[in-house]
Structure 1
Amino acid sequence: MNLHALRIFHTVAEKGGVTRASEDLLISQPAVTAQVRNLEKELGFALLAPKGRGALLTDGGRLVADYAKRLFALEREIESGIREYKAGFSGVLRIVATYLPANLLLPEWLARYKQEHPQVEVVLTTVNSREAVEQLLHYDAEVAVYGGGWEEQPGIAWEQLLEDELWFIVPNSHPYAGQEISLAEMMKVPFILREEGSSTRERLFSLCRALNVNPPKVGLQFNGVGEAVRAVIAGYGANFISSMAVRDYVERKEVSRVFVRGLTLMNPIAVCTRKEEMLSPVAEAFVGLIRGEVKWWQKRPRGGV
């Protein structure tokens, strides 16, 4: 079907005649009439019936006019939807995040994002470091917010947003509470650690190997950060954890730091995407937002607790 002719006929039907349609379309009346005649020839029936100086829609004309109205309304809806999508205001944003940013950073970041992009559907999945990389590579997510040590991964682009110090913590009643000791002494304490695949756990074991120190004994294992901290509060073991996750507990004197001689370890927080792939507009808008949000975290006080 000649959509150009259909669009002109639609305008004739909407405006109530050829004269008004020609004025609206800024083309001559003969040109409008010619396009309607061409459409009638293509369809095999009349669309307009003469009425004095004007024209009436035939039954066939009313049928075609109804279809044309719906068609061009859908066209406008498609154009509007595409504009919103390109501007990052509609679509689905799939994020995978490790436990630290998922619990301490993303709730605030996503709240701000949704205020600005209420029509975007956000799907957030919380996993460990190994699973975050896998989900990104397998296209289960478009953006990964990753907390922990990083080794170069084929196909993954890494952009560091901020970093936070890693702390050793113990119960307040522990002999090492508030003390400065060696790493070998620290490793004599049973540890409460995350599951295998956690970057913080891998950092601790890697550190022991690098410094030729016996690795920690794992007394308890949890899949979440909060559970591990609460176990220390309850009086058992030690934990190796980002200060961002435990600073408030230390300031409230619910747990105590242990200072390991000669060690200052930082925990990077990064946004990861697939290399050489253009982000969708919704993901581009999200990444742009969090780049701005990290400025507050970079200005916060560190250490000294």
Structure 2
Amino acid sequence: MNIHGLRLFYQVAKIGSFTKAAEIMRISQPAVSSQIKKFEHEIGIALFKQQGRRAVLTEFGESLATKAENLFSLENQIESYIDDYRKGEAGTIRIVATYLPANFLIPKWAATFKRENEKVNLVISTTNTKDAFEQLQHYKADIAIFGGGISERPEDIDWDELFEDELWFVVAPNHPYANQSVTLEEMVKEPFVMREEGSSMREHLFSLCHAHLLNPPKVALQFDGLSETISSVMAGYGANFISSLVAREYVERGQLARVYVEAVHIKHKIAICTRKEEKQSLLIKKFIETCKMKHI
């Protein structure tokens, strides 16, 4: 179908005059009439009929004009959407994050970003470290926001580190090790409550044991969520190895207690990750900049 012909027809139908439509489109009236006749010939259906000295729409012409209005209205919306996206004012950002940033950092970052970018959709999902990188690598996410160790960084991922967070061993306040100094060997003899395999905290702890030639602790309880692991430890069972961002408030309220493990000082990196050597859209750049500014 000749879209140019349809557009000319729609302009005439909307204005109700071949002459006025020609003036608006800055072409001659005979040219408009000729193009519309060609369009009628192409589709094989009359669009206008003579009524005295005037040409009026046929029943089909009226129906087609309504559909053309919908089409060109959608075209305008698409053009506006493309323009907004190009300017970084509209679109969708797919964010995948590990548990720590998803629950303790991203909500504030997202709220700040949305206040200034209402047309942008943020789709945020929470998963473990392994799956977060896989989603980014397989183009299921635009950004991965990660909390973990640099050894877990895939080679095809660009890593923009925001800050480091200290990792703590924690137990219930009535635990014998609460607020005490112990060796790592003593600590890992305790039963641990942890998240599933693939979570960064679990990998951190097991790597720490390996580096000190110790057997990893028994994971006596395993949960998919971090809050469940904290609740179990608070209830008086086992120990946890956790980010200070998560644990600090519980420790300050006396719901958890730190265990000071001798010669163990581990940092947890918070980073924004993107695919290496991929040019980022203005929209994604704006979101990353918001995260950086919000952190400062």
Category of TM-score, reference length = shorter chain: 0.7 to 0.9
1:39/1:195 CA distance change after superposition, 3 Å: closer
Rounded to whole Å, the distance in 2 between the matches of 1:271 and 1:160 is: 6
- Higher alpha-carbon deviation: 181-190 or 14-23: 181-190
SS in 1 for 2:194: strand
SS in 2 for 1:169: strand
Question: Could you tell me whether the CA contact under 8 Å between 2:48 and 2:55 is conserved in 1?
Answer: no
Unpaired segments ≥5 residues, structure 2: none
Rounded to whole Å, the distance in 2 between the matches of 1:129 and 1:61 is: 59
Question: Could you tell me whether the CA contact under 8 Å between 2:159 and 2:274 is conserved in 1?
Answer: yes
Tell me the residue number matched to 2:206. Answer: 205
C-alpha deviation, 1:147, in angstroms: 1.1
C-alpha deviation, 1:242, in angstroms: 0.5
Aligned pairs (5 A) from 1:245-260: 245-260=246-261
**Aligned Cα root-mean-square deviation (Å):** 3.1
Question: Could you tell me whether the CA contact under 8 Å between 1:156 and 1:273 is conserved in 2?
Answer: yes
C-alpha deviation, 1:248, in angstroms: 0.5
C-alpha deviation, 1:163, in angstroms: 1.9
Report how many residues are paired: 294
C-alpha deviation, 1:165, in angstroms: 0.8
1:60/1:198 CA distance change after superposition, 3 Å: closer
Tell me the residue number matched to 2:127. Answer: 127
C-alpha deviation, 1:67, in angstroms: 4.0
Rounded to whole Å, the distance in 2 between the matches of 1:3 and 1:135 is: 40
TM superposition score normalised by structure 2 = 0.82
Tell me the residue number matched to 1:299. Answer: none
C-alpha deviation, 1:74, in angstroms: 2.9
Question: Could you tell me whether the CA contact under 8 Å between 1:149 and 1:203 is conserved in 2?
Answer: yes
- Deviation track 1:201-246 (CA, whole Å, cap 9, x = no partner) reads 2112212222334433434333322222223322333221100000
Tell whether 2:149 aligns with 1:161. no
Rounded to whole Å, the distance in 1 between the matches of 2:16 and 2:231 is: 74
- Higher alpha-carbon deviation: 151-160 or 115-124: 115-124
Tell whether 2:98 aligns with 1:95. no
Tell me the residue number matched to 1:189. Answer: 190
Which residue identity is paired with 1:152?
A: R
Rounded to whole Å, the distance in 2 between the matches of 1:67 and 1:101 is: 48
1:183/1:46 CA distance change after superposition, 3 Å: closer
Aligned pairs (5 A) from 1:214-253: 214-253=215-254
- Higher alpha-carbon deviation: 130-139 or 13-22: 130-139
1:173/1:22 CA distance change after superposition, 3 Å: same
Rounded to whole Å, the distance in 2 between the matches of 1:175 and 1:51 is: 102
Tell me the residue number matched to 1:76. Answer: 76
Rounded to whole Å, the distance in 2 between the matches of 1:213 and 1:65 is: 78
Tell me the residue number matched to 2:4. Answer: 4
